[in-house]
Amino acid sequence: MRARRSRLEPRTGVYTSAMPLDAKLLQIIACPKCKGRLEVRPDEGALLCLACRLVYPVVDEIPDLIIEDALPLEG
């Protein structure tokens, strides 16, 4: 079975994901690099660390918090 991974829409620059993240998880989750707060993209397809300027993708409702997998936040 192939994992559903959030993906970046080229026209909008927004990650897309089919499923929402668990609210309890979002209350306790932190950036693995700086231990700071993560924000959810409006489409819930990625988590943002504004301090580190990194974007962590969400795969099958599971945040991929491996620092090496994170993408730089543009803008």
Does 67 score more than 90 pLDDT? yes
Map out the domains of the chain as residue ranges.
7-72
6-13, long-range: CB < 8 A, 24+ apart: 6/45, 6/46, 6/57, 6/58, 6/59, 7/45, 8/71, 13/74
Query: What's this model's pTM, rounded to 2 decimal places?
Result: 0.69
Provide the pLDDT for residue 11. 54
What is the per-residue pLDDT across 5-60, written as a single tens digit (0 to 9) for each? 555 555 545 545 545 677 788 889 999 999 999 998 877 689 999 999 999 998 88
11 φ, ψ (degrees, to nearest 5): -75, -35
Using a pLDDT cut of 70, give the percent of the chain over it. Answer: 71
Does 75 score more than 60 pLDDT? yes
Domain 7-72: state its class: mainly beta
